[in-house]
Structure 1
Amino acid sequence: MTTSFIEQPNSKLWMAAIKPPMYSVAIIPVWVGTAVAFAETKMFHVGIFSTFLISAISLIAWMNCSNDVFDSETGIDINKAHSLVNLTGNKSLIFWISNLFLGLGILGTLAIALWQQDLTVIGLILLGCGLAYTYQGPPFRLGYQGLGEIICFICFGPLVVSAVYYSQAGAWSMTSLAASIIVGIATSLILFCSHFHQAVDDLAAGKRSPIVRLGTKAGAQLLPWFCGSIYALTGIFVVLQIFPVWTLLVLVTLPLAWKLCTHVHQNHDQPEKVSNCKFIAVTLHFWSGLLLGLGFVLPF
């Protein structure tokens, strides 16, 4: 069960609610899409990159805030001390703050579209926002049906990476699509790991997350395959000459994947001990994405 309200200092609860490490989920797709575009076009548009980065961070803030609002309506966060709604006691305030971040994110990508006189980028981002809303937002709440990881994969993989690539290159790329698969898997891994310590609360609220459906033991057994796909696919894309050989730098993160898998295997049924596994997954996501992008840039 999630940590109770009285066990942590208020400052720590606020840091947990804001989730600073999670903003790497916004940074990595922008970095990888830009790196692939640079590798293929030898061009880098600093203004577009910066604007996209700020927009992506704003959209992550929107999802963070709005998810706490939507979860407060189902009662699933009743034991979640670091819910923004529980901390402030003002669901309406968090709702409007989330809408402000959504507006900022959309305005940024709209600025890129107007700059390029091409609506493709804003179209992809609006599609991603709509899909992201269905994760927790009523009446869909697809995350409660166990579809969150699929939504996460599509939004932060093919949609965002492709949009970023297009914003830099003004075209499509099979290499960018392949890279987006790696980023999407690594991002979905974070969400998958976040369910282990919440299995009891999720089940009580009727949320059929993958861990609720599988059980924590089976989820822990699936995790090595989940992590291994990042390295297997990177190797396959290198062999097929879709990726440069330098992208094998992602293999440097194998110790992180090992740490994640062994930690979850040992503690999958102990919520207090396994609750930090999502942060190990965030670290794995960040470094694997950083090194993947670097693998595209280094040959030049």
Structure 2
Amino acid sequence: MYAVAVMPVLLAAGWRFGRAEPVRVEQLLLFLLAAVLLLAWENLANDVFDADTGVDTHGKPHSLVNLTGRRDRVAWWANGCLLVGLALMALVAWRSAPVVLALVLGCCGLGYLYQGPPFRLGYQGLGEPLCWLAFGPLATAAGLLALAPAAAGAAVPWRTALMLGSGPALATTLVLFCSHFHQVEEDAANGKRSPVVHLGTGPAAALVPWFVAGTLALQWAPVLVGPVAQRWPLTALLGIAGLPPARRLIRLLREHHHEAGRISSSKFLALRFQALNGLGLALGLALGRWWPA
């Protein structure tokens, strides 16, 4: 799961390295650790909040609340991960630009809006847009600033963050989207109106190829179009490494979308696509130092 947490800053590192700009390795390591802790908070808190509504009673065997039976203890672990993760991110911001912490707090705020009371926007089918915003422009901008030389008044590189983070964030959003397929009945019974509940499993499965195509299109457009001086290197097409698990995912959901037991692995296929695609893109951008556009 934690490939989705580390990808924004890995992409930022690949981008900066490929442009022969300095990458502060100690900042990269701190950011990676903080990002993992903050996603651990998100996942654990989601288990706690979903336990309160009963939505995970039968449809989510990986819930730590279900596995341990200790909601209070899982809540403590979640809050501990949040505090340590934010402390590390504050250190990253102190060593780079204060706005880094503000951007990360924005990501955490979107995560709480998704799952936490009284908002629970994920129950209204709004989790996917929130996911894209958090793991796309916000987290990528924070990563770009964290790895750059320290500058107290640094401007947020929104244009670069949007161009760099949009495609990989769509792949991350696909992971969340696919997590709904095997628990449609439980979600509907407990008032969680996920996109798959709204659409039905068949129409929702038909959207998966568009998620994949959109991810690749957003990554390939800067390579193939625009002024030559601003194009990404041809090696950025290495994001295609995620295509094999994506094809298996599309085939699985097309043929078995209505069989909850057979599609429980769909989220993990989406994760493989997201991880291989993002790592391929980050590596391809880094190789641009030697193979420019």
Establish whether TM, by shorter chain, passes 0.5: yes
2:61 matched residue in structure 1: 81
Alignment of 1:153-172 (within 5 A): 153-169=132-148, 172=157
Partners of 1:252 and 1:69 lie apart in 2 by 35
Question: Root-mean-square deviation (CA), in Å?
Answer: 1.3
Listed one character per residue, the Cα deviations across residues 247-271 of structure 1 (whole Å, up to 9, x for unaligned) are: 1112233222211101111110000
TM-score (norm 1): 0.89
Partners of 1:273 and 1:77 lie apart in 2 by 18
Listed one character per residue, the Cα deviations across residues 186-245 of structure 1 (whole Å, up to 9, x for unaligned) are: 100000011110111000011110000010000111111111111122221212244222
Alignment of 1:14-25 (within 5 A): 22-25=1-4
Deviates more, 1:94-103 or 1:243-252: 243-252
1:175 matched residue in structure 2: 160
Partners of 1:39 and 1:176 lie apart in 2 by 15
- Which one of the candidate residues 236, 250, 256 is aligned to 1:247? 236
- The alignment of Structure 1 onto Structure 2 pairs a total of residues equal to 278
Listed one character per residue, the Cα deviations across residues 131-163 of structure 1 (whole Å, up to 9, x for unaligned) are: 111111000000000011111111111111110
1:36 matched residue in structure 2: 15
Q: For 1:77, what is the secondary structure of its paired residue?
A: coil
Alignment of 1:32-181 (within 5 A): 32-79=11-58, 80-116=60-96, 118-169=97-148, 172=157, 174-181=159-166
Task: Note the C-alpha offset of 1:35.
Answer: 1.4
Partners of 1:68 and 1:38 lie apart in 2 by 38
- Which one of the candidate residues 264, 281, 284 is aligned to 2:273? 284
Alignment of 1:155-234 (within 5 A): 155-169=134-148, 172=157, 174-234=159-219
Partners of 1:176 and 1:46 lie apart in 2 by 20
Does residue 285 of structure 2 align to residue 274 of structure 1?
Answer: no
Partners of 2:220 and 2:4 lie apart in 1 by 23
1:9 matched residue in structure 2: none
| Higher-helix-fraction structure | 1
Contact 1:143 1:207 (C-alpha < 8 Å) held by counterparts? yes
1:12 matched residue in structure 2: none
Contact 2:61 2:67 (C-alpha < 8 Å) held by counterparts? yes
Partners of 2:131 and 2:87 lie apart in 1 by 22
For 1:82, the aligned partner's letter is H
Deviates more, 1:255-264 or 1:64-73: 255-264
Contact 2:242 2:272 (C-alpha < 8 Å) held by counterparts? no
Contact 2:242 2:274 (C-alpha < 8 Å) held by counterparts? no
2:151 matched residue in structure 1: none
For 1:274, the aligned partner's letter is I
For 1:110, the aligned partner's letter is A
Gaps of 5+ in 2: 149-153
TM-score (norm 2): 0.91
Partners of 1:81 and 1:279 lie apart in 2 by 14
Contact 1:234 1:243 (C-alpha < 8 Å) held by counterparts? no
For 1:37, the aligned partner's letter is R
Partners of 1:182 and 1:242 lie apart in 2 by 16
Listed one character per residue, the Cα deviations across residues 105-133 of structure 1 (whole Å, up to 9, x for unaligned) are: 101110012223x3110000011111111
1:10 matched residue in structure 2: none
Task: Note the C-alpha offset of 1:173.
Answer: 5.7
Poorly superposed stretches of 4+, deviation over 4 Å: none
Partners of 1:251 and 1:237 lie apart in 2 by 15
